[in-house]
Amino acid sequence: MLLDTYVNQIASGILTGLVYGLAALGLSVIFGVCKIVNFAHGEMMVIAMYLALVIFRWFGLDPLASIPLVAAVLFLFGYALQAGVINRLIDVPDHMQFLLLAAIAIMIVSGCLMIFGPDAQNVPLSYAYDSYEIGPILVDKVRVFAGGGAIVVAGILTAFFRWTRTGKAIRACADNLTGARVVGLNVQRLFALSFGLGTACIAAAGCILLMLVDVHPYLATEYTLLAFVVVIIGGLGSLTGALLGGVLIGVSEALAGLLIDPSLKSMFSFGLLILVLLFRPQGLLGKRVQ
C-alpha cells in the first residue's frame, strides 16, 4: 500500500479524533466538577444535532455558525437540569444518580423519535464533498473544519477555567469541595454552572459532528460509550486529556483498519482502554486520587 494512503489516514484519524475528544469534553467537565457520570451524554449531543439541523433548515445557517446559539440553549437546559433535579439528588448513592440520568436519556430518545422520527437526517452543506489537496495528501474539508472547531472550543473552555474568576471557583470546587464551601462559594450554583458548561460543550460537539454524520435518535448510545472510553483513556476531569484520548482513538482506529482489518477497529480502541485501566487507571493526563 502506498505511503500516501497511510499519511492520509493518519491525518484523517487526528481530525476525527479531535472531534471525538470534543464530544467527550462535556463528560469530563461534568464529572470533573460535579462527580456525576452523565449517562445522558450522547442523548444531549443528539438534541444539539437536531437543533443545528432545524436551524439549518429554517434559516440556512451552517452548523458551525449555529454553535453559539445551540450552546446557549443547551447551557440553559443543563443549568436547569442540574439546579432543578440533579442537585436534589447529589448526596444519594451513585447508582440512583445513574438511574436518574439513564431515565433522562430514555426520555430524550423517545422525544426525538416522536418529533423527528427514526430516519437518519443530514445537512447538505455546499462544501460537504470538498477536499484540500496538499501534494499527495487529500484532507477532507469538513474534517478540517470539525477538527479546527474542536481545538477552538477546547481552547475557549481551558481559558475560561484558567483565567476567569468563575472558572477558578469551579476548579476550587473540583479540587476541594469542603474548602470551597468554607470560603463561602455557592457550590450548588457552581455545580449548575458546570453542568451547563458541560452541556454547552456537548452542544458544540453535536453541531460539529452533524457535519460528519447523519443524525437519528439511536445515535446517542454509541457516542455515550465512545465518550466514556475517550475520557477514561485521557483522564477523567482533564480537558487536554480528553482531546488526547480522542486523537489516540482516532489514529489507532485508522491504523488498525489499514494495517490489520477494519472490522477490528473498535477492538483496538477498547484494547487501549484496557491497557490504560491496567497500567494508568487515572488516565494518561488524569490526576491520581489519593
Partner 1 sequence: MSTSSRQVTRRQILAAGSAAALAGAAPLRRALAQTAPLKVGVLHPTSGYLAQIGQACNRGCEAALPVLKEMGYPAIEIMNGDTESSPDIARAAAERLINAGAQMLVGAFESGHTLAIAQVAEQRGIPFVINIAAAPQITEQGYKFVFRNFPRAGAIVGGTFDLQKQLFATSGKTPTQCVVLHVNDTYGTAIKGALNALFPKYNMPYKFSDFIAYDPKARDLSVEVAKAKATGAEIVLAVSRLNDAILITREMVKQRWEPWGVIAAGPGWYENQYMKTLGKLGDYPISCVPWFDPRKPLAQKMVDTHLKMFPGQTVDTNTVYSFEAMLICADAYKRAKSAAPQALVDALKTTNIKDSASIGPGISFDAKGQNDSLGLAAVQNFGGEAKVVLPLASSERNLVFPVPGWRNRA
Residue 264 and residue 253: Cα distance in Å, rounded?
8
Give the DSSP per-residue string, 101-166: HHHHHHHHHHHHHHHH-SS-B----TTTT-EEEETTEEEEHHHHHHHHHHHHHHHHHHHHHHHSHH
Regarding 265 and contact with partner 1 (CB under 8 A), the answer is yes
3-state secondary structure of 54: helix
Shortest separation between residue 192's beta carbon and partner 1, angstroms: 32
Q: With respect to partner 1, which residue has the nearer C-beta, 104 or 219? A: 219
What angle (nearest 5°) sits at the alpha carbon of residue 218, between those of residues 254 and 271? Answer: 35
Binding status of residue 212 toward partner 1 by CB under 8 A = yes
Distance CA 136, CA 139 (A): 10
Retrieve residue 21's grid coordinates: 475528544
From 214, 271, 275, 281, residue interacting with partner 1 (rule: CB under 8 A): 214
Residue 115, interface with partner 1 (CB under 8 A)?
A: no
- Of 163-182, binders to partner 1 (CB under 8 A) are none
Q: Is 118 in the site for partner 1 (CB under 8 A)?
A: yes
Q: Which is nearer to partner 1, 175 or 214 (CB)?
A: 214
Binding window for partner 1 (CB under 8 A); candidates: 90-98, 117-125, 155-163, 172-180: 117-125
Among 72, 92, 115, 120, binds partner 1 (CB under 8 A): 120
- Contact call for residue 213 and partner 1 (CB under 8 A): yes
Asked if 253 is part of the footprint of partner 1 (rule: CB under 8 A), the reply reads: yes
Long-range contacts of 172-180 (CB under 8 A, 24+ apart): 173/33, 174/32, 174/33, 174/237
| Identity of the residue numbered 51 | L
- Can you give the binding site for partner 1, defined by CB under 8 A? 1-2, 5, 8-9, 12, 16, 113, 118-120, 122, 124, 128-129, 131, 138, 140, 212-214, 216, 218, 222, 253-254, 257-258, 261-263, 265-266
